A and B are shown apart, each in its own frame.
Chain A
Amino acid sequence: GQSLEQPSEVTAVEGAIVQINCTYQTSGFYGLSWYQQHDGGAPTFLSYNALDGLEETGRFSSFLSRSDSYGYLLLQELQMKDSASYFCAVRTAGNKLTFGGGTRVLVKP
């Protein structure tokens, strides 16, 4: 089966940098995805890493090390609107996503 571990909660101030780590155990690994979900909203795709290395999309970056079964999401220049839950998800067969428990990020003024 698959399992993913990520911290349950992170608190930071506006303008700060937050790193959310994700470790996984899985078979048939295709890649690691990250999703953002605001309260009452749908998960929104942020990034996907299929190969080792860093992917940068604006203020958000994601990193993957397949040999370490580890990835992280980096949120830079935090804004109040970044307060949300962030999920890592392993993509296996087809489009099956197995999600971590989610990290709640609280941004304070």
Chain B
Amino acid sequence: KAGVTQTPRYLIKTRGQQVTLSCSPISGHRSVSWYQQTPGQGLQFLFEYFSETQRNKGNFPGRFSGRQFSNSRSEMNVSTLELGDSALYLCASSLAPGDRRGEAFFGQGTRLTVV
């Protein structure tokens, strides 16, 4: 079956702009989580969506937002971009919150560069 698809793979934006990243989870998976990965901070949790509802939120400013659609696809948006937002943004899909197998499947990520 197809894996997690993230688009675009690479993005270059200017400070102050906004960006929208997309994630299509594995078919049948209804839980989507987003993570930011940087060399300095590692992998950090942004938020988790299930059934179009945000269930958990990490410690990021309000400039970071997301949503999930009825088909489980998810988008995250970053407004007023800062240089420090340059990172690999990863999306992970799971069957459901609390799934006992504990597996999360990651997409290849979107590499965002802010200049």
Interface, chain A (partner B; CB < 8 A): 30-31, 33, 35, 41-45, 48, 50, 87, 89, 91, 93-102
Q: With contacts A41-B108, A42-B106, A42-B108 known, is A95 near B33, CB below 8 A?
A: yes
Contact A93 B102 (CB under 8 A): no
Contact B102 A94 (CB under 8 A): no
Distance in angstroms between the alpha carbons of A23 and B48 in the assembled complex: 24
Contact B104 A33 (CB under 8 A): yes
Q: Is B64 part of the contact surface with A, judged by Cβ < 8 Å?
A: no
The CB with the most chain B CB atoms within 10 A, among A35, A45, A89, is that of A45
* Chain B interface extent, by class: 20 to 34
Interface, chain B (partner A; CB < 8 A): 31, 33, 35, 42-45, 48, 50, 55-56, 58, 90, 92, 94, 97-109
Chain B proximity of A24: nearest CB distance (Å): 14
Contact residues in A for B104 (Cβ distance below 8 Å): 33, 45, 95, 97
